[in-house]
Structure 1
Amino acid sequence: MSDLCCNRLPIAYSRRDMLRYAACGFGSLAFAAMSARASGASLLGMSNARDDEPRSPLAAKKPHFAPTAKRIIFLCMAGAPSHVDTFDYKPELAARDGQTFRGNAKLLASPWKFSQQGKGGLWISDLFPNLGKQADHMCLLRGMKAEIPAHAQASIQLHTGSFQFVRPSMGAWALYGLGTENENLPGFIAINPRGDNGGAQLYGSGFLPASYQATPVRLSRRGSDDAVAHINNERFGTAAQREQLDLVQRLNKERLKREKSDRELEGVIESYELAFRMQAEVPDLVDFADEDKKTLEMYGIGQEPTDDFGRQCLLARRFAEKGVRFIEVGHGGWDTHRNLREELGQQCSEIDQPIAALLADLKRRGMLDETLVLWGGEFGRTPYAQGTDGRDHNAKGFTMWMAGGGVKGGISHGATDDVGAEAVDGVMDIHDLHATILHLAGLDHERLTHRHAGRDFRLTDVKGRVNKEILRA
């Protein structure tokens, strides 16, 4: 069992506890109940933790081995981008355009040209003129495969490792294993998370303590006031809130004198403290007033069609600078069953400049080598046409890419067949992807476990292989 594993769930209160709290007055009883609910006392699973472990579930923890990635930025392209039109060059597909394929399907050549980019000569679509300039930092994973070509199930599996059961997301696992570097910010943040095809489960904590789930940040041009829900207290100012928390802390200390140790209560107090501290730090982070004009222009902020995603990418960099462990940035609209030429071109034009800027910005700040950037969707698209101008779902082969964080740059790993229908070489499934991500973060995917329902669970279940071929020496 892992050193990072939480053990069996405790009973929150015995009958003797209840009588003792009642004897202290109904106020104490209500506070105890509130604490149990808010902290998820039955969920925290910390009561049997080792004495030498940090008391706070979010405190920084030692990795299993030296990490190459101190933080992860996941650029999630919801809807499944077409790999054969973006990062998987298939001249054979162009040569066989219009030919019959596996029954009545007709092969559809990519409407866009590909060109070799960077010192490694990576073939990248002309849809990404800016990102192509960052090719020497990119590792194209062209042998990816998923298990099911349905958006909701595949999205859930991409995030949690399972499409059948409710499981913690990979961001929650990373935070569970490593803790946070900044006590004033959440360790796992989802910027503009989508509500469909898995919803909150995509960034939830599953059976892990609730403190490991993502904090959603809604970014818009209206400003920073509504970026994090319920963070502003309209009734009380900072001083009054501080007095409230101090009162709760005093009650907590009195109880700890009697109990000696109560990790559940400490957990809920920490969550209140974090929310209080976030009020001071988050507004400044989501306000780009301190960014120079050149940086804003580099991300495409203030111009269309890049403004929205450019803001998200810049905010991801700012959170990464402040020590947030896992940041997910969402972009939807990639489900091109029809109108491929217009819709795919539009989607790529929205993200090309911002992502290129993110990589360049991380590089110039000396952060890219310690930041893993992951790009991709839940699966790919078919090499044959759906209708006359679209592509259907394809889970048998697609492309994702990584950059920074200890991954070799300027290389392509794995391959699909001649037309891009199925992964045939260097195949990586979702469990392999997760195992590799955790490895880069300094975590052994077989040792990072959590005791639940009578057995030890992990992100990769009983599968997963670290792809050491893409790791930088």
Structure 2
Amino acid sequence: MTGCLDYRMSRRAMLAASGVASASLLGMNVPSLLAAAGKDHLAKAEHVILFHNGGGMSHIDTFDPKPGRPTGGELAPINTSASGVQISEIFPLLAKQMHHCSIIRSVAGTQGDHGRATHHVSTSYLPFPNLIYPGIGSVVSHELPKLGDLPAFITISGNAHRAGYLGQKCEAYFVPQPGDKDPYLAFPEGIAEVRGNKRLETLERFNTRFQGTNKDERLTSTKTSIDEAVKLMRSPALEAFEFSKVKPETIERYGNNAFGRGCLLAKRLVDKGVRFIQINRGGYDTHMNVFPAMRNHGEVMDSGMASLIQDLADSGQLSKTLVLMISEFGRTPVINKDAGRDHWASVFSVFIAGGSIKGGTVYGSSDEDGAHAKDNPVKVQDIHATVCQQLGIDHNKEVMTPLRRPMKLVDNGTPISGLIS
């Protein structure tokens, strides 16, 4: 079973546990039939790198410039390697990679509050007080088998949305400082490996005895966390997290800062088989001085994004790695009295590349001032459905919550067929 609902036994898991690997039904292999259930298409991608830009990134000052309009602001558009596609001057290096990339300029949001909008773009659902919906990274790690020793879902430089009813196994592994050795994946200073292993064995015996008399589901989650941590700390794949052997010029090319190192780490994690990597960056709530703020963001982001796209393409990994950049909403077309832009949910942009998505194209459009979706409006849920489809996941699939309530993986979204090559 590839799912993370380790607190219940499904019929699929029961069959798998009963030794049906060699069983057949009308001459067909049963596990193969089960694995194909709910899918009507083949996976075109294996990995996702999601850039989550917290605060509400200005669409007009990044991927949907409005030259010559009163709303256009101070940042000029520049041509890119994709014919007819322009983006903001803050991304000169990324502009050279746009033949690999696409932009959705017609995302029609509904939420102008940071918390509600972030929840929406993270889960496809609006918040509900009595239910914790899982984020898209948790959905992916729930639905797809793990590849290699590293966690299926890793979040960098910030926390990702919780796994909710999908369970502990689908929570993201947190990397606070990309490129640095994680001190929690080694025994403390002064504890030799032999002594540390004996402590772990003692902990395992104690937990096993205690869990035998207590059926609290939280104990299962705790055991899951410990088992995964021990397996990870003993894996040679941990070298992906450390940059001590990375050439200094490579680090400089990506940008020797948290964002650039996060991009480089994401590339290395894809090489190790990690399914979903989320890179977090805040500071986009630009109610004041939006133009110098966006120039500063561009100086940090441009080299990391461009190097990541280029290296994924050169290594052949871009075709099977879906790269997205999203924020919870856009910013107002009208520039306020403080030379800033305020919250604007009516339309915003999403950057998308790889994973058999058409390169060098723009999907949809906003109106001439960047105020509303004009052509081919896209719902937030449609982006989630598109991610699932490219990964071979049935976005309409229902999973059962601990309270026995069926929930769809995506809240009534439709894959964006015009983006898919």
Asked if these proteins are the same fold (TM beyond 0.5), I'd say yes
Does residue 231 (structure 1) correspond to residue 185 (structure 2)? The answer is: yes
Q: Is the 8 A contact 1:46 1:264 kept in 2?
A: no
Which 5+ residue runs of structure 1 have no aligned equivalent?
A: 7-42, 56-60, 98-107, 195-201, 302-306
Going from structure 1 to structure 2, the CA distance change for 1:4 and 1:299 (only over 3 Å counts) comes to closer
**In structure 2, what is the equivalent of residue 48 of structure 1?**
10
Residue 282 (structure 2) aligned to one of 321, 324, 332: 332
Aligned-partner Cα distance in 2 for 1:111–1:264: 53
AA in 2 matched with 1:176: H
Cα drift, residue 293 of structure 1: 3.3
**Larger C-alpha radius of gyration, 1 or 2?**
1
Question: 1:172 is matched with which residue?
Answer: 138
Query: Would you say the 8 A contact 1:5–1:450 is kept in 2?
Result: no
Provide the rounded CA distance (Å) in 2 between the counterparts of 1:54 and 1:175: 21
Measure the CA separation in 2 of the matches of 1:115 and 1:254. 65
1:294 paired to 2:257: no
Q: What residue identity is the alignment partner of 2:231?
A: R
Q: How does 1:33-112 map to 2 (within 5 A)?
A: 44-50=6-12, 51-53=14-16, 62=35, 64=39, 65-91=41-67, 94-95=68-69, 97=70, 108-112=71-75
| Distance verdict in 2 for CA 1:209–1:237, change over 3 Å | farther
Q: Is the 8 A contact 2:3 2:144 kept in 1?
A: no
Alpha-carbon distance in 2 for matches of 1:54, 1:285: 33
| Cα separation, partners in 2 of 1:46 and 1:176, compared to 1, 3 Å | same
Q: Secondary structure at the match of 1:130?
A: helix
- Give me the whole-angstrom Cα distance separating, in 2, the residues matched to 1:67 and 1:124: 30
SS of equivalent to 1:147: coil
Distance 1:319 1:152 in 2: 29
Q: Within the alignment, does 1:218 sit opposite 2:176 as a pair? A: yes
How far off is 1:246 after superposition?
A: 5.0
| Counterpart residue number, 1:371 | 321
How far 1:214 sits from its partner (Å)?
Answer: 0.6
Displacement, 1:123?
A: 1.1
Q: Secondary structure at the match of 1:457?
A: strand
1:86-235 counterparts in 2 under 5 A?
86-91=62-67, 94-95=68-69, 97=70, 108-165=71-128, 166-182=132-148, 184-193=149-158, 202-219=160-177, 223-226=180-183, 230-234=184-188
Partner of 1:362: 312
- Residue 340 of structure 1 deviates from its aligned partner by 1.3
Give the structure-1-normalised TM-score. 0.76
Contact 1:118 1:133 in 2 (8 A): yes
- Alpha-carbon offset, residue 453 of structure 1: 3.1
Q: Secondary structure at the match of 1:405?
A: coil
The aligned residue for residue 470 of structure 1 is: 419
Aligned twin of 1:449: 399
Q: Offset of 1:429 from its aligned partner?
A: 1.1
Distance 1:136 1:450, change over 3 A: farther
Amino acid at match of 1:170: I
Tell me, in whole angstroms, the C-alpha distance in 2 between the residues paired with 1:437 and 1:54: 30
Shift of 1:156: 1.2
The answer to whether the 8 Å contact 1:4/1:449 transfers is no
Instruction: Tell me what 2:26 maps to.
Output: none
Q: 1:81 Cα deviation (Å)? A: 1.1
Q: Distance in 2 between matches of 1:170 and 1:435?
A: 10
Instruction: Confirm or deny: 8 A CA contact 1:376 1:399 kept in the other structure.
Output: yes
* Maintained 8 Å contact 2:318/2:355: yes
Moved more, 383-392 or 399-408: 383-392
| Aligned twin of 2:25 | none
CA distance in 1: counterparts of 2:11 and 2:195, whole angstroms: 35
What does the per-residue CA deviation read over 1:214-248, in whole Å, with 9 as the maximum and x for residues that have no partner? 11111167x3244xxx4333274433343455567
CA shift in 2, pair 1:252/1:155, >3 Å: closer
Tell me, yes or no, if the aligned pair for 1:185 and 1:274 is still in contact at 8 Å: no
Q: For each residue in 1:193-213, what CA deviation from the matched residue of structure 2 results, as whole angstroms up to 9, or x when unmatched?
A: 15xxxxxxx421111111111
SS of 1:141's equivalent in the other structure is strand
CA contact (8 A) 1:84 1:90 kept: yes
Shift of 1:252: 9.4
Partner SS for 2:332: strand
Calculate the aligned-residue CA RMSD, in Å: 3.0
1:49-94: CA deviation from partner (whole Å, max 9, x where unpaired):
4223479xxxxx9573421110100011111111111111324xx3
| Higher mean displacement: 154-163 or 370-379 | 154-163
Aligned length: 395
Distance 1:268 1:384, change over 3 A: closer
Structure 1 residue identity aligned to 2:276: F
TM-aligned CA deviation for residue 377 of structure 1? 0.5
CA displacement at 1:351 relative to structure 2: 0.4
Instruction: Report the identity percentage.
Output: 30
Unaligned runs of 5+ in 2: 19-33
Q: Assess if the C-alpha contact under 8 Å between 2:54 and 2:281 holds in 1.
A: yes
Using the size of structure 2 for normalisation, the TM-score is 0.85
Residue aligning to 1:198: none
3-state SS of 1:358 partner: helix
- 2: CA distance, partners of 1:283 / 1:5: 24
Letter matched to residue 46 of structure 1: R
Q: Return the alpha-carbon distance in structure 1 between the equivalents of residues 227 and 89 of structure 2.
A: 49
1:284 counterpart letter in structure 2? E
How far 1:315 sits from its partner (Å)?
Answer: 0.8
Tell me the secondary structure at the aligned position of residue 325 of structure 2: strand
Q: Aligned match of 1:284 in 239, 242, 258?
A: 239
Cα gap change, 1:253 to 1:167, in 2 (>3 Å): closer
> How far apart, in 2, do the equivalents of 1:4 and 1:283 lie?
23
Answer yes or no: is the 8 Å Cα contact 1:317–1:362 preserved in 2. yes
